[in-house]
Structure 1
Amino acid sequence: MQGSHLDIATGLGSAGASYLETTLTGGERVGISSWSQTLLAAVDRMHPFRLPGAESVIQLVGGLGDPSAQTQGNRLLTEMARLVGATPMFVPAPGLVGKKSIRDSLLSDPAMESVAAAWSRLTMALVGIGSLPPSPLLRASGNAVDPAEQDKLLAAGAVGDVCQRYFDATGTLVHSDLDDRVVGIDAETLRRIPRRIGIAGGESKHAAIHAALTGAWVNVLLTDTGTAEALVR
């Protein structure tokens, strides 16, 4: 799978749909990062399951931003749950807040406590792999870090993120105050999920994808030919 950014996203969407249709066999508890154009492309290409393919589909990171982005994020989660016959579970909060105290207050809300408990029981995660600077959809979601914070992350060696958890070229978590401001699954819980599927590609993401694999942020990768060749060089 090679070509333009749009070609790659379309191809990855088809590959993601095929993978999910052939590997979801019922009983799975699926976490999904809902701010990814590639994941949305995958769900848009899925066919309805005749039998339930999963028990639940759970949002991994909150997000309350631009209405169009919010609509896309909600549609991704809702549509996947409908197609596989699962119950959807949303994060009823923004994905990134201004202070740790705000994050802690949100996480102590009963609705958020039930989501956090569900994260610890996930059997599978379906995630995009982000690079710096963030994608347009992530920026519109309200979850993107501002330019000053991006500069700090870059200075600390960050090359990418999964679910707003930033890592360096070795896949090691880059610690910053952002960790305490994200309303979403934490790094340790994420990396305990048995099957962690990353769907990402394109030259701009080579470093981030390599690091995500090296750091075990994902253990299954769906990508394009050019990226695969770059990874094995």
Structure 2
Amino acid sequence: MGEDSATEPDRGDRAARYSNAEASRSRGSDALRAAQMYYLQDLTMNAIARELRTSRSTVSRLLSTARETGLVEIQVNNPQLRAPSLEHEIRRRFSVEAHVVPVSELVRDSEVLERVAIQAARTIGPLVESDAVIGVAWGSTLSAVSQHLARKLTHDTTVVQLNGAGNTQTTGIAYASEILQRFGHAYGARVEQFPVPAFFDHAETKTAMWAERSVRRILELQERMTMAIFGVGSTNSGIPSHVYSGGYLDDADLLALNQERVVGDVATMFFRADGSHRDLLINQRGTGPELELLRRVPRRICVVSGEAKLSGLRGALAAGLPTDLILDEATARWLVQDEPR
């Protein structure tokens, strides 16, 4: 009797799990049917509601589910010959694939970032493939992008952290991990973190660490990247770059960057307005990928929000870092002006 009673909760748990799984499959099936009728058959939500014998609000939720789970990928086709003038001009001048996000100049910086992040997430999704090694930087921009990624099942894909996140106040693991885990969850990918500081105190320490086998494993993954996703760091943006606001650089570092005429960074590797960077001493202590290595990655997606990042963006373009650029309309307009702002 004791044995029979002990199994009752197990039977109940199994029944509950089966019921939940069935409900999930049913919702997925309904979401797929609603999406097919709405996007492929041009039926209105009212017509779909009548056919599925449900309410219009339920149809709206089913369509949202279809988008969020990757059943539907919304893509605005924009062939070069029909591209808006801003995108066409950026492609012509900088030889990058440009995606300009229409945003009024009256919108606050935080809302601009949110809208750029949403479009970036939807642009990145269709580009992610199986057997890929995707390098992901951390920062305010990538954190926002990671919150809007739609699910897309891939196989044997790896997401690898581009640069360390620790400083004298924190390991940075929780912050960077949250961003990477969202990318890994969205694409069903394995996540490889890089548990080193953002900057070493001494270049010699970095040299010694880079010889360690545990670190070499991550570096070798980075050397096999097929895609890299990053923002551009800036000291004066409306939403401060995390590397500048999070205690990663002290006053001496900031003074040195100013004296060296540094305009920005990608994954904590710095550069000047003309793209030069090899002689910058701080890069000998930084843990991001060498910019020469980054330039060898086949697809390099740069996401930028806010006009205050213009100088950094110009430097990144001069260094040949992005192949794809996703940015807001106001920043795009200033970018194609002849005179730097």
TM-score (norm 2): 0.63
Matched with 2:317 is 213
**Aligned mates of 2:137, 2:198 — CA distance in 1:** 11
**Aligned mates of 2:261, 2:181 — CA distance in 1:** 36
Matched with 2:306 is 202
SS of aligned partner of 2:300: strand
Deviations 1:39-66 (A, max 9, x none): 11111111221x2177110001011245
Of 137, 147, 167 in structure 2, the residue corresponding to residue 44 of structure 1 is: 147
Q: Does 1:62 align with 2:198?
A: no
**Aligned mates of 2:313, 2:127 — CA distance in 1:** 22
Deviations 1:98-131 (A, max 9, x none): 0112112221221110001111110110001011
SS of aligned partner of 2:165: coil
- Match runs of 1:177-192 below 5 Å: 177-192=281-296
Give aligned pairs, total. 230
Deviations 1:64-101 (A, max 9, x none): 24559542211100121121011111112112010112
**Aligned mates of 1:60, 1:101 — CA distance in 2:** 20
User: What is the root-mean-square deviation in Å for CA atoms of aligned residues?
Assistant: 2.0
**Aligned mates of 1:196, 1:146 — CA distance in 2:** 30
Matched with 1:98 is 201
**Aligned mates of 2:257, 2:166 — CA distance in 1:** 23
Deviation at 1:140, TM superposition (A): 6.0
**Aligned mates of 1:58, 1:141 — CA distance in 2:** 22
- Match runs of 1:138-149 below 5 Å: 138-139=243-244, 144-149=248-253
**Aligned mates of 2:186, 2:321 — CA distance in 1:** 26
Taking structure 1 as reference, are residues 139 and 68 closer, same or farther at Cα in structure 2, changes over 3 Å only?
farther
SS of aligned partner of 1:223: strand
Matched with 1:153 is 257
Gaps of 5+ in 1: none
Of 137, 141, 157 in structure 1, the residue corresponding to residue 242 of structure 2 is: 137
TM-score (norm 1): 0.91
Matched with 2:187 is 84
SS of aligned partner of 1:82: helix
Among all aligned residue pairs of Structure 1 and Structure 2, give the percentage whose two residues are the same amino acid: 23
Larger radius of gyration: 2
Q: Which has the higher contact order (CA 8 A, sep 6+)?
A: 1
> Is this contact kept in 2: 1:169–1:210, CA < 8 A?
yes
> Is this contact kept in 1: 2:235–2:241, CA < 8 A?
no
The worse-fitting range, judged by mean Cα deviation, of 133-142 and 110-119 is: 133-142
